[in-house]
Amino acid sequence: MRYLIDGNNLMHALGMVRQGMNTHNWESAQRNLFDWLVARVLTFGEVCVVFDFENRYSEKGDYQGLEILAARPPQKADEVIQLLVKETLHPHALIVVSNDMDVRTSGKRKGVRGLRSFEFIDWVDNLPKKKAQQTQAKGAKSRSQVLSEEEDKEFWLKKFEG
């Protein structure tokens, strides 16, 4: 799965930024967003975060496996995301995170799943639960399986002892 995220939208939804922040605080908020994504999302697929250029992120970069892009003026992040969606070869393997309805709608027409930032945050917050449930379901053994394994173990222990 590949996640294409409007970084400005997600930072606002997470409460990491506010109007009038200075450059140092904005850059700190970006690093906090990157750390949040690396810790909670990166293990589930590729992540590309797109910013508006005037929001102080360099044109292109990488942060611990995240792909970071900045729109070149006069483009905005929404336009870059729409362009990337248009060019994708695997729309069903892409999730776009944007609060812009036009971005989500244009992606949906191509088969891309779109989430608003708060929906994405809720989804991410439930990932550990889903992962734990999947792990529990895979690792769960019936009582008869456990007994069978114990009987098997006893058989081989007796076989090699005697």
User: Residue 65 is part of a domain; what is its CATH number?
Assistant: 3.40.50
Question: Domain span at residue 41?
Answer: 2-134
Residue 104 lies in a domain: yes
> For residue 144, is pLDDT > 50?
no
Residue 56, pLDDT score:
55
Residue 14 lies in a domain: yes
Overall number of domains in the chain: 1
Residue 91 lies in a domain: yes
Structure tokens at 43: 């293990």
- Cross-strand pairs, 46: 2
Q: Indicate the pLDDT class of residue 91, thresholds 50, 70 and 90.
A: very high
Q: Is 58 helix (H, G, I), strand (E, B) or coil?
A: coil
Residue 143, pLDDT score:
46
